Structure 1
Amino acid sequence: MELVSVAALSENYVIGQDGEIPWHSIPEDKKQYRGRIANDPVILGRKTFDSMRADLPGSAQIVLSRSQQAFDVDTAHHARDVEEAIDIAESLDSETVYVIGGGKIYDLFQPHLDRMVLSRVPGTYEGDSFYPEWNDDEWRLESETPYEQFTLQEWVRIDGE
């Protein structure tokens, strides 16, 4: 199983402010993001899960939460910690599982990731949620695709090759 994080982040690693993205919506990014994660399980925090309830992503949602133990969604699974989330993901027998946030979830899973697919939004923004910085010695930029309002980068962990 490959563990891949997917995020949109600014030049100063901001991913959110008060539960929202701090830049204007980028439809082209949203389309590629939703298409990428549509048919695979996703790992996310409870706040991110709650913010997406109207249109849940992925084929299954593995929700990390210390407080809420059950969810009224058939495809949602509760996990208490990273190890339990990975165990659940492996039990779903999918080749790829996506980590989709928020900031604390990205930080917890960073040491376990095989790849990062990052939409790099130009500019710096005020925010209260950040994507974790990474050590360039541990990652290789495999591809970079420019779009009108963002650049899509795919990073591969070097020790995972």
Structure 2
Amino acid sequence: MDMVLRAVAIYLILLIVFKIAGRRTLLQMTSFDLILLLIISEATQQALLGEDFSVTGAMLTIITLVAVDIIFGFIKKKIPGAENIIDGSPVILVDHGIAHESKLQKVSVSCDDILLAARQNHGILELKEIKYAILERNGQISIIPEAEK
């Protein structure tokens, strides 16, 4: 019975905290959001399975982490350039069919990754058919095809 009550308590506090924090889609998740979810899951696991009955501690940890996430979101909206510092900025990897090798190495993306995105989204088979390939903040690669001639 104790485990059931713990599970209900953790579920309810997570539900309330995430309703207050707002929604984010998985595709728009930043690195901080992923880290936040991993830490929340660990705190939740400890509260659910731990021997120390630290439900309150887990709740405070979760609330603190979400509050930090909200504060970072506020900072990104209010301070120019903060979003680029916190989340990074988009990176142009291919410009008119030419791959920028130094940028590819810096962000650990291969030409195969770019071509995969190009095939999946546009049916493009060759790099020369890509006008721009952009690594977005969320980790996805946006492809802008060259205009048809």
User: What's the TM-score once normalised by structure 2's chain length?
Assistant: 0.22
Select the structure with the greater relative contact order (CA < 8 A; seq sep ≥ 6). 1
Q: Which has the higher strand share?
A: 1
Q: Which has the larger radius of gyration?
A: 2
**TM-score, normalization by structure 1:** 0.21
**Greater share of residues in helix:** 2
